[in-house]
Amino acid sequence: MDAMIQTLAKELGQKESYVENVVKLIDEGNTIPFIARYRKELHGSMDDQLLRTLADRLQYLRNLEARKGEVKTAVEGQGKLTDELAAAIDAAATLAEVEDLYRPYKQKRRTRATVAREKGLEPLAAMFFSLDEPCPPPEEAARDFLDPEKGVETVEDALQGASDIIAEWISDDAALRKALRSLYLRRAVLISKAAEKEPEDTVYRLYYDFKCPLNRMQGYQTLAVNRGEREGVLKVSVDLDAEEAHIAVRRACVPGRAAMAFVRDAADDAYDRLIQPSLEREMRALLTEEADEGAIKMFALNLRPLLMQPPVKGRVTMGLDPGYRMGCKVAVVDGTGKVLDTAVVYPTHGARQKEECITRLSALIRKHGVEHIAIGNGTASRETEQMAVELIKRLGGGVSYMIVNEAGASVYSASKLAAEEFPEFDVNLRSAVSIARRLQDPLAELVKIDPKAIGVGQYQHDMPQARLGETLGGVVEDCVNAVGVDANTASPSLLQRVSGLTATTAKNIVKFREENGVFTARKQLLKVPKLGPKAFEQCAGFLRVPESASVLDHTGVHPESYPAAEKLLAACGYTLEDVRSGNIGELKTRAESAGLPALAEQCGAGVPTIQDIIKELLKPGRDPRDELPPPVLRTDVMELKDLKPGMELQGTVRNVIDFGAFVDIGVHQDGLVHISKLKKRVRHPSELLRVGDVVTVWVTEVDEKKKRIGLTMRQP
């Protein structure tokens, strides 16, 4: 464990004591959000993302140690485990190195070398491969091993068998494989060609004649050629100069051998027949693994700001789920998300139906006091947006609209969860309700959907689904706990993302409040079935109870820190009533004047905890999303044909990818800001942009036929 702690500390640039504390906290069953928020003194205030990286690497290193033990046991069972081999296995830094060392001892399928051994040719191979003893010429030595009964009828048969055995020995050499792996990573090139002689114009046209050094391959390029290969459009290979590889193998295996010329030929055969195909597969797998991890990381980076978009709280909202044949589904929800009214209108079925649509929606807007309209960005979105603009003009203003990303809405509306939530509505109307709620509180609504269906990544269907789901689930968990959850209004979907809660305890919380009335204190959560002391410790700080008489229950202050909070207030001349009334504006100044280290010691808490308590007391029940720029709400619409090069626009970043970002500028078709057109030169667009960012862009080109918009963030 000490070595593991040292490795993690070095990789993450953290103190060994902090890493050791985190490992202990994880092993004790604490969640990452809880550790990140309420155990800062123990880990030096690492954030949740760094803690998750630590947890992932910890699992990898533990799996590595377990595999080392399995390999040593397996080799020892064969009676072949030497001190040198055991030391080499212990020193291996990766699973690949461990497998290289195990390769000579692993039970193999029947090979040419296996057949040669069965014919009794291993001693002949050992004679040729010896470093210590001279041997007669190969043809002469081979005559002593002729055995027609075993199938060794000629000298050539014996020499071929010996060569096959030597080739396998060379192929199984762990040090050689490590050296060749390094050579491939430095010098090999990935080549992609069109599978057909005269290929059609497809999305893979960039890869019809493509070459790139392995060490320069971008993740999106790897994923593109992989998909093109699977679809039969591309043929992909990894190329390394054969002579360079042969020289590397010969240098490692031939010098000093008893029969150098013979071993040289066997070494060339080992590379061509055994090593090269194996390493090509390994390089492709390595590129894919790196690309997958990069894409998953990018998906997570995009998902976080999408979930943390500022809510449009407390406003009556109309959700429109556009459509052609089935019409536009309408749902009006109040400021809490409760459904007030529903309808189906047909704005795309002709002038008369469009007029009927405007008349009906106008009546609903006046009846319920609708302030915002949320329009899904799917099929018929553009026509629905134009109708909404006309509707707003006829109403004389007072209403604004926003195009809402409806990715995953259909998945949710057809789910068991949606059926339980809205049994009286059909699938289409549930989708309209979801779209309206996405504008009101994106986080509360999007947690109901599998994160993989939200659509803010690239090639997400090609990713290892378990790994993708695990990573995105962690992002959702971090976002939910960063915002906090109202224990008296949250849905089971939202509650089960709270640290320490499960689907069962989330449902039990909802059932408890339905049967016993709203919670009036955090400690009442301990009465919920199956929510024990450990779960309470993990979840309590993230659950808000606005109906509680104690103002601390409204905040992110953990119950274990209530005594520290009260001592802090008293030391600064305040009371809990001052917190409730908001008359503690000087709290931070007074605390800093008293000296935070001394104050922390007086309160029996660490400095980071005291700083967090001060933040919470200054803004009880604060929502960190309120500090972000508000979403762009529109009252007018533009079309693609209205765009001209040089036009300045304001837009919202919808997706960040390896080669740029897509920005919604209000014309239904998102524009692309290529990485070369960002404000400044960066290695990756995520260094400058996040999903949901409001940015100023200028139009560089418009292709109406292909519906492509080029944008720049550099003022012309």
Evaluate whether residue 547 is within a structural domain.
no
Query: Poorest-confidence range of 222-231, 419-428, 513-522?
Result: 419-428
Q: Which of 440, 475, 495 is the last residue of a domain?
A: 440
C-alpha distance from residue 420 to each of 29, 154, 416, 497 (Å):
32, 78, 6, 19
pLDDT value, residue 572: 93
For residue 139, being part of any structural domain is answered with yes
Please give the DSSP secondary-structure letter assigned to residue 630.
P
pLDDT of residue 713: 93
Beta bridge partners of 373: 318, 401
Residues 136 and 94 in one domain: no
**Residue 34: closest CA among 542, 405, 414:** 542
- Are both 273 and 131 inside the same structural domain? yes
**How many structural domains does the chain have?**
4
Residue range 416-440, pLDDT digits in tens:
888 888 888 888 788 899 999 989 9
SS3 of 541, please?
A: helix
In whole angstroms, what is the distance from residue 708 CA to residue 701 CA? 8
Range of the domain at 321: 317-440
Order of strands, edge to edge, in the sheet holding 234-239? 209-213, 189-194, 234-239
Q: What are the Cα distances from residue 366, in Å, to 95, 316, 363, 395, 464?
A: 66, 11, 5, 9, 49
Q: In terms of C-beta density within 10 A (0-12 exposed, 13-18 middle, 19 or more buried), how is residue 208 classed?
A: middle
Taken in order 425, 429, 431, 436, the sign of the CA dihedral is negative
Mean pLDDT of 398-404: 87
Question: Which CATH number belongs to the domain containing residue 650 in this structure?
Answer: 2.40.50.140
Q: In the numeric block, which tokens belong to residue 671?
A: 């524009």
pLDDT at residue 15, as a whole number: 95
The C-alpha angle with vertex 133 and arms to 130 and 138, in degrees rounded to 5, equals 70
Which tokens belong to 146?
A: 């002729």
Token pair listed for 633: 């709400």
* Residue at 139: amino acid letter: E
- For residues 289 and 182, state if they share a domain: yes
Question: What whole-number distance in Å separates Cα of residue 335 and Cα of residue 524?
Answer: 27
**Which residues does residue 653 pair with via DSSP β-bridges, in sequence order?**
663
- What percentage of the chain reaches a pLDDT higher than 70? 97
Same domain, 158 and 85: no
Closest CA to 435 of 318, 553, 592: 318
CA 573 to chain centre: 46
Q: Does some domain include residue 466?
A: no
Q: Which of 565, 557, 525, 563 has its CA nearest to residue 541?
A: 557
Per-position DSSP letters for 500-522, written without gaps between them:
T--HHHHHHHHHHHHHH-S--SG
**Nearest in space to 376 (alpha carbons), one of 667, 708, 668:** 668
Is residue 151 within 8 A of residue 169, CB to CB? The reply is: no
Q: Which of 23-37, 588-602, 617-631, 662-676 has the lowest mean pLDDT?
A: 617-631
SS3 sequence of 346-366: CCCCCHHHHHHHHHHHHHHHH
CA distance 6 to 16: 6
CB atoms within 10 A of CB 182: 11
pTM of the model: 0.79
pLDDT digits (tens, 9 = 90+) for 640-651: 777 888 888 888
> What CATH number corresponds to the domain at position 192?
1.10.3500.10
**Structure tokens that stand for 482 in this block:** 């960063």
CA distance 339 to 276: 63
Does 559 map to a domain?
no
Instruction: Give domain status of residue 179, yes or no.
Output: yes
Q: Are residues 157 and 209 in the same domain?
A: yes
Tokens of 136: 């007669």
Cβ 697 vs Cβ 661: under 8 Å: no
For residue 285, what pLDDT band results from cuts at 50, 70 and 90?
A: very high
* C-alpha to C-alpha distance for 698 and 711, rounded to whole angstroms: 6
- Alpha-carbon gap, residue 356 to 394, rounded angstroms: 13
Say yes or no: 175 and 45 in one domain: no
> What CATH number should be reported for the domain holding residue 50?
1.10.10.650
Contact 127, 141 (CB under 8 A): yes
Domain final position from 440, 475, 502: 440
Q: Same domain, yes or no, for 89 and 124?
A: no
Average pLDDT of the residues in 647-673: 85
602 is a domain residue? no
- pLDDT (tens digit per residue) in 592-648: 999 999 999 999 999 999 999 999 999 887 778 877 666 666 666 567 777 888 888
The reply to whether 193 and 340 lie within a common domain is no
Write down the pLDDT at residue 455: 66
Mean pLDDT of 348-371: 93
Are residues 425 and 354 located together in one domain of the fold?
Answer: yes
DSSP β-bridge partners for residue 238 = 190
- Three-class SS state of 296: helix
| Mean pLDDT (whole number) for 245-251 | 95
| 498: in domain | no
Enumerate the β-bridge partners of residue 376. 404
**What sign for the dihedral angle of Cα 101, 104, 107, 110?**
positive
* Cα separation, 711 vs 58, whole angstroms: 43
Domain co-membership, 164 together with 188: yes
Alpha-carbon distance of 360 to 379, in angstroms, equals 21
The H-or-E segment that residue 268 falls in is: helix 260-269
Q: How far apart are the first and last CA of the chain?
A: 57
Given a cut of 90, is residue 145 above it in pLDDT?
yes
Q: How confident is the model at residue 239 (pLDDT cuts 50, 70, 90)?
A: very high
Q: Which pair of structure tokens corresponds to residue 311?
A: 């809510």
pLDDT of 376 above 80: yes
One domain for residues 254 and 120: yes
399-424 mean pLDDT: 82
Q: What is the pLDDT of residue 244?
A: 94
Q: Tell me the sheet residues that pair with 689.
A: none
Q: Which of 434-443, 492-501, 664-673 has the lowest mean pLDDT?
A: 664-673
In contact, 313 and 441? CB cutoff 8 Å = yes
- Provide the mean pLDDT of the chain: 90
Cα distance between residue 653 and residue 690, in whole Å: 7
Q: Which of 440, 465, 500 is the last residue of a domain?
A: 440
Q: What pLDDT is stored for residue 635 in this prediction? A: 60
Q: Considering the domain boundaries, does residue 524 fall inside one?
A: no
Q: How sure is the predictor about 406, in pLDDT bands with cuts at 50, 70 and 90? A: confident
Q: Which of 640, 668, 671 is nearest to 653 (CA)?
A: 671
Residues 54 and 143 in one domain: no
